[in-house]
Amino acid sequence: MDINKVTAIFDEFRLKEVEETLIRHGVKGFTLHPVRGRGYYFDSFNENHLIKHIQMEIYAKAEQAREIAQLIVDAAHVNADSEGLVCIVPVNNLLWIHDKRSATDNDFQLHR
């Protein structure tokens, strides 16, 4: 199995652009989570200084993970402070619940 997980945290207002870009480039699945946090930039007007962002997770063939990460960076970028980040990590094992089998890298082929 040669699968990576791409995790991105970016401004919630860029979600539509990121989704459309990924779908246009053949990414068929991703998971979204609303998150709050602070980094280089923080919201000094809120008592807790936290900013709302979206966290997106995508499982991909290892050879395509870098391309997917770059698509997210390009779609989310607006040249502002604290736009977020993207990381790529290897996946040691991944199991499908619906048929109780291990996932393979072929399960994550981009659909172009």
Residues 57-100: pLDDT tens digits? Answer: 999 999 999 999 999 999 999 987 767 899 999 999 999 999 99
Q: Give me the CATH number covering residue 51.
A: 3.30.70.120
C-beta of residue 35 within 8 angstroms of C-beta of residue 55 = yes
- The SS3 call for residue 51 is strand
Amino acid at 105: D
Residues 76-88: pLDDT tens digits? Answer: 999 877 678 999 9
Residue of 14 and 1 predicted with greater confidence: 14
Question: How many helices (H) and strands (E) would you count in the chain?
Answer: 2, 6
Is residue 54 included in any domain, yes or no?
yes
Is residue 112 included in any domain, yes or no?
no
Q: What are phi and psi of 30, to 5 degrees?
A: -160, 160
pTM for the structure as a whole: 0.87
Is residue 36 included in any domain, yes or no?
yes
Distances (CA, A) of 91 to 6, 27, 34, 55, 56: 10, 18, 23, 18, 16
The Cβ of residue 95 has, within 10 Å, a number of other Cβ atoms equal to 9
**Residue 86 is part of which domain span?**
3-107
How far apart CA 6 and CA 9 sit, in angstroms, is 10
* Total structural domains within the chain: 1
